[in-house]
């Protein structure tokens, strides 16, 4: 039985600025289930971080117009008080960000920072909190955690700092982990290790995970569900298999064609031409149409709805199913299986 942990319905986050309204998030809906990872993918500025910062109540509501629903454990977090949100963050929802150096205090020992989180949320003594912090560091694969707990963040390597952040995010046993570009600052081998740690903990603790990344390839191995975002909206949503093996939206095809894959030898990498639009002047119709090689008559006029194309695989595109299948074949023709 699947258990929905987080349900976001039609989330809108607009920032009024002197230059116009920035439509950072413009109608985003998705669910995250227990025991599953949702990979959230899109180019820079597509609204990934703002979506999840809003979920966590970390957006300054005075500077933003926010609407929609963020349902977590039966409550709409958009209506929660600051105090309630503070309790939910850390305790029920853990977070990790791209650069642990900015999320960790440079002047405090790593073990003490984790202990502080425990002491702030749990009725335990200092000794017990310290022991739990060491245990948390052990769980994320930090060797000699007793000694490491007494060190400062700068004494850790980048990969170890990110492991320590994961330890801190999970030490209170949350149901949901939000990981926003957790591996971008790391080299490729360490990236893979960190994703493995997250995946292993997800299974062991049976939590839900949101894994945010620029790259579809990064989330591929560890996500069960995928949402592709463009200009503040989801353009495709489905299981990993659906989105990878039978992509529907031209933008997803573009993302897949512009990254090398291990399982196919790519003859020709085809980057998506152009750049993402300004979120103040989003193109009319489909926001992707100026960059879309398959655009036709309605694309610069009508906004395509995100629609179920069968079995819960959704996309927002005017092309027919046949045209999408043909585009997919064309893309695959450019790639030669490794023999």
Ligand X SMILES: Nc1ncnc2c1ncn2[C@@H]1O[C@H](COP(=O)(O)OP(=O)(O)OP(=O)(O)O)[C@@H](O)[C@H]1O
Binding site for ligand X (CB under 6 A): 15, 17, 22, 24, 42, 44-50, 63, 214, 279
Q: Which is nearer to Mg ion, 8 or 142 (CB)?
A: 8
Which of ligand X, Mg ion, none sits in contact with 42, Cβ below 5 to 8 A by type?
ligand X
Q: 110 or 287, CB closer to ligand X?
A: 287
Given the rule CB under 5 A, which residues bind Mg ion? 49
> Using CB distances below 5 to 8 A depending on partner kind, what does residue 45 bind out of ligand X, Mg ion, none?
ligand X
Q: Give the nearest distance from C-beta 70 to ligand X in angstroms.
A: 15
Task: List the single partner that 316 binds among Mg ion, ligand X, none, CB under 5 to 8 Å by kind.
Answer: none
Going through the chain in order, the beta strands assigned E by DSSP cover 4-17, 20-33, 37-41, 65-72, 75-76, 93-96, 176-180, 208-213, 225-230, 233-239, 264-266, 307-308, 314-315, 335-337
d(C-alpha 117, C-alpha 128), whole Å: 13
Q: Which residue is nearest to Mg ion (CB)?
A: 49
Minimal distance in Å, beta carbon 278 to ligand X? 8
Which is closer to Mg ion, CB of 49 or CB of 139?
Answer: 49
CB of 60 to ligand X, least distance (A): 7
Both structure tokens of 78: 């958009």
Minimum CB distance to Mg ion, residue 48 (Å): 5
Largest CA distance in the chain: 68
* 6 phi and psi angles, rounded to 5 deg: -130, 130
- Contact partner at residue 331 from ligand X, Mg ion, none, CB < 5 to 8 Å by partner kind: none
Rounded CA separation 253/141 (Å): 36
Query: Measured from the CB of residue 37, what is the shortest distance to ligand X in angstroms?
Result: 18
d(CA 214, CA 80): 30
Q: Which is nearer to ligand X, 17 or 203 (CB)?
A: 17
Other Cβ atoms closer than 10 A to 126: 11
CA distance 34 to 42: 23
């Amino acid at each position: 039985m699947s258990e929905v942990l987080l349900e976001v319905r039609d989330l809108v986050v607009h920032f009024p600025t002197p230059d116009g309204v920035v439509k950072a998030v413009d109608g985003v809906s998705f669910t995250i289930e227990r025991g599953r990872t949702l990979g959230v993918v899109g180019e820079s500025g597509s609204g990934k971080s703002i979506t999840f910062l809003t979920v966590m109540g970390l957006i300054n509501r005075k500077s933003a117009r926010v609407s929609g629903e963020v349902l977590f454990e039966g409550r709409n977090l958009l209506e929660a008080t600051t105090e309630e949100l503070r309790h939910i963050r850390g305790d029920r929802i853990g977070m990790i960000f791209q650069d642990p150096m900015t999320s960790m205090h440079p002047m405090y020992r790593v073990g003490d920072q984790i202990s502080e989180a425990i002491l702030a949320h749990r009725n335990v003594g200092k000794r017990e909190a310290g022991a739990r912090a060491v245990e948390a560091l052990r769980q994320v694969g930090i060797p000699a955690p007793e000694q490491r707990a007494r060190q400062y963040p700068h004494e850790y390597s980048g990969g170890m700092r990110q492991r320590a952040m994961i330890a801190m995010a999970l030490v209170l046993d949350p149901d949901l982990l939000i990981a926003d570009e957790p591996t971008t600052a790391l080299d490729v081998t360490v990236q893979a290790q960190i994703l493995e740690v997250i995946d292993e903990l997800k299974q062991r603790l049976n939590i839900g995970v949101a894994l945010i990344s620029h790259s579809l390839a990064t989330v591929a191995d560890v996500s069960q569900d995928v949402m592709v975002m463009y200009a503040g909206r989801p353009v495709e949503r489905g299981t990993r298999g659906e989105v990878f093996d039978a992509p529907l939206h031209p933008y997803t095809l573009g993302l897949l064609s512009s990254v090398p894959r291990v399982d196919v030898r790519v003859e020709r990498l085809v980057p998506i031409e152009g750049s993402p639009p300004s979120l103040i002047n989003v193109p009319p119709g489909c926001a992707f149409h100026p960059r879309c090689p398959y655009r036709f008559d309605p694309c610069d006029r009508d906004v395509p709805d995100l629609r179920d194309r069968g079995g819960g695989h959704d996309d927002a595109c005017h092309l027919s199913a046949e045209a999408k299948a043909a585009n997919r074949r064309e893309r695959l023709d450019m790639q030669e299986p490794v023999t």
